[in-house]
Amino acid sequence: DRAIAEGTLYSGFGRSGVFAARIRGGWVGAGAFEALLQTPGTFDLVHPQKRFYAGGANSVRGFAQGRLGPRVLTIDPVRLLGPGPEGAGCNPSELMDLSCDPTSINEGRFVPRPTGGTRVLEGNLELRFPIGLNLEWVTFTDVGQVWGGRDEVDLSKLEVTPGVGVRYLSPVGPIRIDLAYRFGAGEPLAVVTSQLEVFDPNVHEESDRIRIDDNVIPYIRTHELTALNTSMLFGEASSFSFRRFQLHISIGQAF
């Protein structure tokens, strides 16, 4: 089950300006499997391609494409097993029982990946002013959030990202440059990595063994992904940061 609703409004503003507004909301359910979501230990049963993602040039512009909403951090298990300062210094048994603490690793070693959500709400406001030479100046504010299946829809969690932009009205459509700023600080995210398995010479290839620096250990990576018990604070501090600016270059109006 999946439903999306969207509405837009365009109105003249001043002598030649345009006020534009848009709101979009969506919901997706697990259908016949909805009851399973109440079982402890289960995860969202909605296919990743059916989930909602937000952020990007036509969404909440303070975020990169798909980076607003539920996310996890992924990392190679070698990083977790390696010595500091580049690694966490965990031993294989700590990684296998998920007690490995990843917080000593620099956040630049993690790869954030959006997991999508089951509900989305986005809103956009724009003022567009022609400034001559086929150019248009724009100020905007975007708001939005994506919630996972077990999250309450809390409007206080909406991200607000103001910004400015310029359009060149070319024959193929407006060529658009937008610069937005997000206020949200860092957040704790689950750390996902590959699980380990003890090396078995009767089953595995010698080349499958994990190498840490110059040492080869009697373990291999498996195809199973698992989340560590300790989450990782990821993102900028609460003070002003240039890293919170997000630039988008695209063709066509945002909506």
Q: Report the number of distinct structural domains present in the chain.
A: 2
Shared domain check, 126 and 40: yes
pTM for the whole thing? Answer: 0.82
What is the Cβ-side half-sphere exposure of residue 36, based on CA atoms within 13 angstroms? 10
Q: Which pLDDT belongs to residue 35?
A: 53
Q: How far is CA 241 from CA 23, 37, 152, 164, 236, in A?
A: 28, 38, 29, 17, 7
Buried b (16+ CB within 10 A) or exposed e, 89-116: bbebebbbeeebbbeebebeebeeebbb
Q: Which pLDDT belongs to residue 193?
A: 96
Shared domain check, 119 and 224: no
Q: Which pLDDT belongs to residue 41?
A: 47
- β-sheet with 173-181: strand ranges across: 2-13, 17-28, 119-132, 135-147, 159-170, 173-181, 245-251
Contact by Cβ (8 Å): 148, 48: no
What 8-state DSSP symbol labels residue 203? Answer: T
Shared domain check, 147 and 200: no
Q: Which pLDDT belongs to residue 46?
A: 81
Q: Is residue 179 part of a domain?
A: no
Shared domain check, 100 and 7: no
Q: Which pLDDT belongs to residue 40?
A: 52
Q: Taken in order 250, 68, 231, 218, is the CA torsion positive or negative?
A: negative
Mapping DSSP to helix (H, G, I), strand (E, B) and coil, where does residue 206 land? helix
Domain of 212, in residue numbers: 76-109+187-234
Contact by Cβ (8 Å): 60, 161: yes
Give the β-pairing of 209-212 and 215-227.
antiparallel
Q: Is residue 176 part of a domain?
A: no
The CATH number covering residue 143 comes to: 2.40.160.50
Shared domain check, 67 and 19: yes
Shared domain check, 159 and 193: no
- pLDDT < 50 stretches in the chain: 41-42
What is the Cβ-side half-sphere exposure of residue 51, based on CA atoms within 13 angstroms? 21
Q: Which pLDDT belongs to residue 115?
A: 93
